[in-house]
A = this chain, B = another copy of it.
Amino acid sequence: METFVELLKTHNLKVTQQRLEILRYVESHLTHPTADEIFQSLTKKYPSLSKTTIYNTLETLTNAGIIQRLTICPTEHRYDFNHDMHHHFICKQCGKIFDIHFTCPNVETIEKDILKDGHRIEEVHGYFRGKCKDCLNKEGVKNG
């Protein structure tokens, strides 16, 4: 039935309309939205929704491991539903983030190395920076 309700309960989080909406939004928008983008979209339907709630909820869901916070963008945080383990490519020019559905097969070896140091790993992030296909093409046209 209500998957998201179950999901929240599983993580010992109170079920509220706000949390469900935010969760639904992030799960269905694979565009790595910012807090503001989520707010701008949801505020149309729920005018009483507060931006602070967006921030609080994103923090809560991140801590629970339900979503992940991307610190790839230098100016703002982006959020991503934790579907499966994957990495990211961010374009320096247009800022668009692309999912990289390929993870290092040796990540466990690295993790063992870190564990050997005594640290406890809770998140694994990989990201690549550069110029995306679209921006390269635009330049190609412009510069011959």
Contacts and interface: CB of A to CB of B under 8 A. Distances in A.
A21 interface: no
For this chain, the copies found in one complex come to: 2
A125 to B, nearest CB: 5
A4 interface: no
Interface stretch (A34-42, A44-52, A131-139): A131-139
Q: Determine chain A's interface SS by DSSP, over half rule.
A: mixed
A144 interface: no
A129 B123 contact: yes
A85 interface: no
Interface of A: 69, 71-74, 77, 87, 89, 91-92, 98, 100, 102-107, 109-111, 113-114, 117-133, 136-137
Given A87-B110, A89-B114, A106-B106, 14 more contacts: A89-B117, A98-B119, A100-B114, A104-B107, A104-B110, A105-B106, A118-B137, A119-B131, A119-B133, A122-B129, A122-B130, A123-B128, A124-B128, A125-B126
